[in-house]
């Protein structure tokens, strides 16, 4: 892929949209729970209900619209509607303080904003050929990751300086910029590939479960590692931020490098390496108790997230070429489901067995994902062999 490719107006616009959508999400999620607890005085149980209901709304709405888009509804129309409602929903989150109304606004915001990103990925996939797809999708995914490096710290600064309401107005402005960039993009539907691959295909179900396992483990680590580092290892409060920042910085070149070479790899190989990195990483976190060791282990953490997040979506899209909207949505929803399961399950494990058991269970989930990926590769190879004979 030459420099000319990356300088095309359509490609630059898609990259800018990914950056803006990622930054908008990064400006809400990190501070929303703090706003609910500190500013509105909502109890932890109802904060949990709020996020659980919003996650389910996001999954349900995005799946419904994915089916509609693959059946012929314009992706551009879906994007314009979802971004417009997300802009209004951001304002609602900032101004509402009555819990039922806030819950409704949150479900609308989560539902529609959860739709924008996979539909944008599907639209982007339709702009390039098969050889360019993996690298382009990896770069788009890396752009989202970059927005999450600077987004949360900046969101907390603005939260303290200008308050949550004005922060949500800034977020609405980011969605407004997205609306300005959308005109001019066009649906470029690929010819139906007649793959016969549906949501219930064993390979799709297995692939979804792999992503759920890997990101459930990742969620457990992200949620409970800061507490473990502070309370068990007795490290400085800045340590978790340094660990997360290093991992995020390493993920991006891994995403882009793997995407550039993806066409040389067998289909499921990136996920095999990602799951193996997960096993090494979580066992290392469990075994070692020094900060220097945890810093060194972040290369495995970056390998896990960089490969699973960067190329995972391309694998879904390769298997479901004639249903790109559903492929992209299944991938993003698998991450959400995994994150939801991980954050909830991690609390139970930490309560019963302590934080060491959390990381052991993360390693177990990565091992389960590794076994599943090998099974997927074996079944695909067997299917190909039967077809050729």
Q: What residue spans of the chain are helical by DSSP H?
A: 3-6, 9-34, 44-70, 75-95, 99-125, 130-161, 163-181, 202-227, 239-260, 269-287, 291-319, 324-353, 355-388
The span from the CA of 382 to the CA of 385, in Å, is 5
Q: Shortest CA distance to 64 belongs to which of 13, 6, 114, 5?
A: 114
Lowest mean pLDDT among 21-35, 175-189, 260-274, 372-386: 372-386
The span from the CA of 320 to the CA of 195, in Å, is 7
User: pLDDT, tens digit, for every residue of 217-259?
Assistant: 998 888 788 778 877 787 776 777 778 778 878 888 888 887 7
* Residue 214's pLDDT band (cuts 50, 70, 90): very high
Q: What is the per-residue pLDDT for 329?
A: 80
* pTM exceeds 0.85: no
Q: What is the per-residue pLDDT for 159?
A: 84
CA dihedral sign, ordered 199, 200, 202, 208: positive
Residue 256 CB coordination number (10 Å): 16
User: pLDDT, tens digit, for every residue of 192-208?
Assistant: 444 556 666 788 889 99
Q: What is the per-residue pLDDT for 286?
A: 92
Q: Could you write out the DSSP letters of every residue in 120-137?
A: HHHHHHTTS-HHHHHHHH
Place of tokens 């997960």: 278
Q: What is the per-residue pLDDT for 87?
A: 92
The span from the CA of 30 to the CA of 127, in Å, is 33
Could you tell me which residue, 360 or 344, shows the higher pLDDT? 360
83's tokens: 């971004």
Q: Shortest CA distance to 324 belongs to which of 140, 141, 113, 72?
A: 72
Please give the average per-residue pLDDT across 133-159, as a whole number: 79
Q: What is the per-residue pLDDT for 192?
A: 47
Q: What is the per-residue pLDDT for 383?
A: 43
Whether residue 182 contacts residue 76, with contact meaning beta carbons closer than 8 Å, is answered with yes
Q: What are phi and psi of 197, to 5 degrees?
A: -90, 120
- Length of the chain, please? 389
Please give the average per-residue pLDDT across 210-215, as a whole number: 94
Contacts of 179 (CB under 8 A, 6+ apart): 80, 83, 84, 87
Whether residue 165 contacts residue 94, with contact meaning beta carbons closer than 8 Å, is answered with yes
Q: What is the per-residue pLDDT for 365?
A: 96
Please give the average per-residue pLDDT across 268-279, as a whole number: 93
User: pLDDT, tens digit, for every residue of 299-319?
Assistant: 999 999 989 987 887 888 888
Please give the average per-residue pLDDT across 343-353, as a whole number: 81
Q: What is the per-residue pLDDT for 5?
A: 74
* Residue 274's pLDDT band (cuts 50, 70, 90): very high
38's tokens: 């500190």
Cα distances (angstroms) measured from residue 271 to each of 63, 90, 114, 309, 340: 24, 35, 24, 10, 21
* Residue 121's pLDDT band (cuts 50, 70, 90): confident
Q: What are phi and psi of 384, to 5 degrees?
A: -65, -40
Angle between helices 44-70 and 75-95 (to 10 degrees): 160
4's tokens: 């000319």
The span from the CA of 217 to the CA of 286, in Å, is 13
The span from the CA of 219 to the CA of 329, in Å, is 19
The span from the CA of 283 to the CA of 261, in Å, is 28
Q: Is the pLDDT of residue 148 over 90?
A: no
Residue 306 CB coordination number (10 Å): 31
Q: What is the per-residue pLDDT for 284?
A: 95
Q: Residue 231: is it exposed, middle or buried by C-beta count within 10 angstroms (0-12/13-18/19+)?
A: exposed
Q: What is the per-residue pLDDT for 130?
A: 66
The span from the CA of 389 to the CA of 385, in Å, is 6
Q: What is the per-residue pLDDT for 217?
A: 94
User: pLDDT, tens digit, for every residue of 74-116?
Assistant: 888 888 988 998 899 899 889 988 989 988 888 888 777 778 8
């Amino acid at each position: 892929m030459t420099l000319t490719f990356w300088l095309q107006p359509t490609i630059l616009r898609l990259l800018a949209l990914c950056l803006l959508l990622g930054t908008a999400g990064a400006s809400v999620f990190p501070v929303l729970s703090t706003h609910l607890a500190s500013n509105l005085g909502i109890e932890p149980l109802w904060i949990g209900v709020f996020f659980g209901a919003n996650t389910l709304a996001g999954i349900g709405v995005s799946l419904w619209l994915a089916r509609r888009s693959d059946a012929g509804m314009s992706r551009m129309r879906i994007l314009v509607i979802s971004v417009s409602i997300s802009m209004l929903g951001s304002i609602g989150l900032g101004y509402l303080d009555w819990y039922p109304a806030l819950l409704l606004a949150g479900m609308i915001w989560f539902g529609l904003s959860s739709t924008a990103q996979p539909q944008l990925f599907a639209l982007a996939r339709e702009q390039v050929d098969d050889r360019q797809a993996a690298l382009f999708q990896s770069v788009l995914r890396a752009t989202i990751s970059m927005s999450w490096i600077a987004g949360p710290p900046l969101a907390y600064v603005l939260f303290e300086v200008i308050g949550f309401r004005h922060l949500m107005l800034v977020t609405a402005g980011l969605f407004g910029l997205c609306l300005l960039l959308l005109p001019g993009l066009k649906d470029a539907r690929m010819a139906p590939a007649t793959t016969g691959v549906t949501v219930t295909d064993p390979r799709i179900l297995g692939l979804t479960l792999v992503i759920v396992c890997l990101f459930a483990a990742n969620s457990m680590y992200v949620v409970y590692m800061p507490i473990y580092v502070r309370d068990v290892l007795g490290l400085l409060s800045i340590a978790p931020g340094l660990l997360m920042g290093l991992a995020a910085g390493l993920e991006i070149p891994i995403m882009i490098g793997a995407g550039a070479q993806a066409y040389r790899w067998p289909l499921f190989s990136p996920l095999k390496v990602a799951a193996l990195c997960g096993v090494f990483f979580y066992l290392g976190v469990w075994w070692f108790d020094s900060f220097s060791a945890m810093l060194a282990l972040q290369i495995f953490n970056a390998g896990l997230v960089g490969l699973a997040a960067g190329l995972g979506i391309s694998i879904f899209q390769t298997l479901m070429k004639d249903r790109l909207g559903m492929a992209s949505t299944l991938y993003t929803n698998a991450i959400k489901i995994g994150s939801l399961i991980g954050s909830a399950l991690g609390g139970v494990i930490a309560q019963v067995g302590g934080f060491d058991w959390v990381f052991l269970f993360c390693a177990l989930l990565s091992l389960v994902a590794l076994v599943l990926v090998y099974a997927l590769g074996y079944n695909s190879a067997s299917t190909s062999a039967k077809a050729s004979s």
